[in-house]
Amino acid sequence: MFITGALAFSIYVDWFNAHGKSTQLARIGPIMLICLNLPPSERLKPENLQVSEIIPGPKEPTALQLNYLLMPLIKELKELWQSYHFSPTST
């Protein structure tokens, strides 16, 4: 569904070892927002990614734990959806 003037985001979570290729494991995971309104070639450029949370390790959370960690972000996005109206501007 497309709504004129609305912003669409994808939520992306990635996990990596904070110590690089070291044998010591300390996994951390940033939760990022990707704006789907941008052209595909622009979406994943560092300047267009919004890091909303960083989840510390030492290991990845379970799916249930991840749901709880996403709650503040979802709540904020829901408030923005209900509070603001974005309309396209004419040039």
Give the tens place of pLDDT for each residue, 23-71: 667 788 999 999 999 999 999 999 999 999 999 888 888 999 999 999 9
Q: How confident is the model at residue 89 (pLDDT cuts 50, 70, 90)?
A: low
User: For residue 27, what are its two tokens?
Assistant: 């996994």
Q: How confident is the model at residue 4 (pLDDT cuts 50, 70, 90)?
A: low
What is the rounded CA–CA span in Å between residue 60 and residue 53? 14
Matching residue, tokens 């709650």: 71
What is the rounded CA–CA span in Å between residue 83 and residue 11? 21
* pTM summary value: 0.71
